Structure formats: C-alpha cells, structure tokens
Amino acid sequence: MGRWEGLCKSFTPDGEFLDGSAVHMDVSWIDDNTWHLHEHFDNLYGVGETVYDTPISVDGKRCWAKGEMISLEGTELTAFNYVFTIDSSVTRSIVYNNHYFLDPNTRRIITHKVRDGKTNLFQIQDFVRVERP
C-alpha cells in the first residue's frame, strides 16, 4: 500500500532493450476485502499514456478483478512474492506478472506478455515506495 514511483523497461522477445518509461502507482484499501490500484504509465510501450483504475477483491491469499481494461487473478506465494495473470484489452495480450519485494519499500515486477500464443514483450518495472499510507 502507499504511493510508488518507478521505471518500466521494455524488451523484445530476444532480450533487446526497446524503451523505458516512468510509472506512478497508488495502492490503498477501499474496505476490508478490496484494494484500489491506480497505475499511470507515462508511455506504456506500444500504447502510449495509460491510466488503470482497478478495484481488486481479496480473499485470503487470492485476489481478482474484472473491468473494461483488464481482468486479473493473483496469488500471494510468500510475504515478498506475488504472481498475477492479467488479460489486457489495452495491450491485447495475456500478461504474466511476478512481483518481488526486495524490501518493504522496493518492488520489482517481471512481466511476460503473450499475444496469439507467442511472447511479444518482456518488461521489468522497478518501484520505490515514496509515501506510506
């Protein structure tokens, strides 16, 4: 939870660097079973400026959301590692995200995007929490 600032780096399926862009993220609890994700990409690769506002339901270690831009399912594996599968109408891809907390204020997200059954993009997002709730 809190406000996070980060950089999203995009790579080809062959591992060649394509682009980097700032990402701004605010995460907060709406109620005991729902948190809100506001994620603003200055320039989401292949799309442009993109803002996600997603309420995410939580039950134990599982979470899910369904909206016009994305649907997602996620699981907490450990206190420092979370995995998500996202069906994105924005990028027209299935997105596999692995969130790893290096420490409570530093997060790395490794992203594997698949379109039409083939890898079309890899991304690495590095975030620092700049404000606690």
CB 25 within 8 A of CB 125: no
Mean local confidence (pLDDT), 91-107: 96
Mean local confidence (pLDDT), 71-90: 97
CA 31 to chain centre: 21
Average pLDDT, the chain: 96
- The DSSP line for 75-90 is EEEETTEEEEEEEETT
pLDDT digits (tens, 9 = 90+) for 118-130: 999 999 999 999 9
Domain map of the chain by residue range?
A: 2-131
Question: In sequence order, which ranges of the chain are alpha helices (DSSP H)?
Answer: none
**pLDDT in the model for residue 133:** 85
pLDDT digits (tens, 9 = 90+) for 21-79: 999 999 999 999 999 999 999 999 989 999 999 999 999 999 999 999 999 999 999 99
Is 2-131 a domain of CATH 2.40.128.20?
yes
- pTM here is 0.91
